[in-house]
Structure 1
Amino acid sequence: MTGPRVRAAAERLFARHGYAAVSMRQIAAEVGIGAGALYHYTPDKQALLRDMMRSHLDDLLSAWAQADPGGEAVARLDAFARFHIRFHLDRPDAVFIAYMELRSLEPETFAEIEALRKQYEAVPEAILLDGLQSGVMQVTDVKLGSMALIAMLTGVNTWYRDGGRLDRAAVEDVYARMALGMVGVQTVAV
């Protein structure tokens, strides 16, 4: 099907060159269709970007809803850290675009995407608040702690490469312990 190929090509090009530097003509050439034919699959480049970001965030929220173990805050924070790393390492181009191309969104699209981002940011906020209220975590500022946690976990995408010194499971272990340590949960070093 050409529609998914158009989106995949746009994602590769946006991640490699940046949204602003990529033309519809380049996307069409990458797919192997004429530039005019591209408009059968998308009205414009902004719609492609919106659909990519929307799909990424919808997938992220849906995947967490399935992965969330429920229960007590320590287990949920451990699960969240591992989930976030795993999900993001599996989709480096989508993650890059979701973070770096917010600036390229038109205002109404930005508001839509930002609302989805806030839904996801509310997940660690709720976990940290639960941990604070139940006395198992020490958090000075739940919102700031949540943002710091997400930034730390997402940062793995900037340096991790398969085949390096640590495999994904080891990175998840280290980062899950660091996430717990950030909020005063004692863990056993491995």
Structure 2
Amino acid sequence: MTQTFKLRDYQTQAVEAALAHFRHGDDPAVIVLPTGAGKSLVIAELSRLAKGHVICLAHVKELVEQNHAKLLATGTPAGIFSAGLGQKTNTAKTTFASIQSLSASLASFQTPASLIIIDECHRVGMDDSAQYLKTLAHFRRLNPNVKILGLTATPYRLGSGWIYQHHYRGFARPAPSSFFKTCIFELPLQHMV
């Protein structure tokens, strides 16, 4: 059943910020949306708009399933690659995957991706052997210009600090070794209250 979702103003702004950012460069970027702000709708819209192959990563099967369902509801087909959900499809234009399943099966993914979206991207570690970084390095070998977008409600990690280096409002964060370069959109929590 196809549903039409009308994105809220801030969801549209987040999508437009991602499109504008990636038209001008390939630096990994972050969108910060508070819990309940509809990250899965932003992910669905960006996946729908993308020209090439899209990989959407999450660390738990519930997020893989939720994000997949939002895109399917728009009438856009997509696959799931997740042992926890009992599906391992890697041929769809958009694949929603658990990082654990995908990182253990990188040889099955030889099609270059144009966009990688990471839900709960604050989980991307700094250690090069970590699942996320190993997976991202694989897709960067296939396409050095792959666009990498993270979404999170928590852009600060205890123990390691900010997950990005620059904010679109002009200030820098003390995070010289962070994977993500720029926060391209942030919705303040008070907007949701």
Q: TM-score normalised to the size of structure 1?
A: 0.31
Q: With CA pairs under 8 Å and 6+ residues apart, which has the higher RCO, 1 or 2?
A: 2
Larger fraction in strand: 2
Q: TM-score normalised to the size of structure 2?
A: 0.30
